[in-house]
Amino acid sequence: MEPWFEGKVALVTGGGDGIGRASAVLFARRGARVVVADIHHKTGEETVAAIRSFGGDGTFISGDISDAGAVQTCVKETINRYGRLDCALNNAGIILPQDGSWDEDAFDRIIRVNLRGVMLCMKYEIPELLKAGGGAIVNTASINGFVASATVPMPAYTSSKHAVIGITKSAALQHARNNIRVNAICPGVTMTNMVKDVWEYSEEARRTLTNFAPMGRMARPEEMAEAAIWLCSDKASFVTGHSLVIDGGFLAG
């Protein structure tokens, strides 16, 4: 293990699969004690098992980040278990198949999870980071935080990710002199369960995903994890308010 985070505690929401799981495992490999938060008990425990398989220290906490009480409990249990919080990856998010149809219930649910959930996480994480003398937060946005798609219309998801970039900048400026850095990662198409859901929309969606990035492939969750963990580390000590695009060149065009 590389001791980037020796003695530190990291919280990863949406840690049960995809980018969240890859990040939780990488945090542990680099020395952090990791709390894996996810609404799905089975996959969350699987991530913890993966961490423990190489001698890492991980704990699972179940909860829905769109619920303020659940988020408060998650952070409280992190402190009860490990005594502090130093880093957080607010990664949990959803896409619903109805997103493109202007369905009101789908829109509300996506905003509650993808935006309100990030807000609630930071609301309860930041006081603990202040107690620890500072720390780092990374929020998972998306390239859909910069552009929309006519081929795969996702108005609610796209709106939520634009807003995640905005709230990241706001929090970064608010706490820039408190030794708390707040950044975002903006993944391109990455082979996660969420992308697999989009894959099922249509044949046109599948063609789009397959040929999306100029590099000619989809990203691996581990590639996103490397970026997120770097932003949380002291190696990124002068980086705050930044939205790091990791998209295989898509936005360059």
Q: What is the pLDDT of residue 1?
A: 62
Token duo for residue 229: 């963990």
Is the pLDDT confidence value at 156 over 80?
yes
| Structure tokens, 193 | 């369960």
Q: What are the two backbone dihedrals, phi and then psi, of residue 13, each rounded to the nearest 5 degrees?
A: -90, 155
User: What are 29-41's pLDDT values in tens digits?
Assistant: 999 999 999 999 9
With b meaning 16 or more CB within 10 Å and e meaning fewer, what string describes 53-66?
eeebbbbbbbbbbb
Give alpha helix (H) positions in 55-202: 68-82, 104-111, 117-131, 155-174, 193-199
pLDDT tens digits, residue range 86-138? Answer: 999 999 999 887 777 789 999 999 999 999 999 999 999 999 999 999 999 99
> 3-class SS at 94?
coil
For tokens 């002199």, what's the residue?
Answer: 177
Q: What does the alpha-carbon distance between residue 117 and residue 113 come to, in Å, rounded to a whole number? A: 5
**pLDDT tens for each residue of 159-180:** 999 999 999 999 999 999 999 9
With a cut of 80, say whether residue 195 has pLDDT above it. Answer: no
Average pLDDT of every residue of the chain: 94
Catalytic residue among 82, 124, 157, 201: 157
| CATH class (in words) of the domain with range 9-247 | alpha beta
The token pair that represents 221 in the structure block = 């969750």
Active site (annotated) includes residue 157: yes
Q: Which residue has the tokens 């492939």?
A: 217
Q: Identity (one letter) of the amino acid at 190? A: T
In this prediction, residue 198 has a pLDDT band, given cuts at 50, 70 and 90, of: low
Indicate the domain borders of the chain: 9-247
DSSP string, 195-216: HHHHHTS-HHHHHHHHT-STTS
- What's the whole-model pTM score? 0.94
β-strands 243-246, 180-187 pairing: parallel
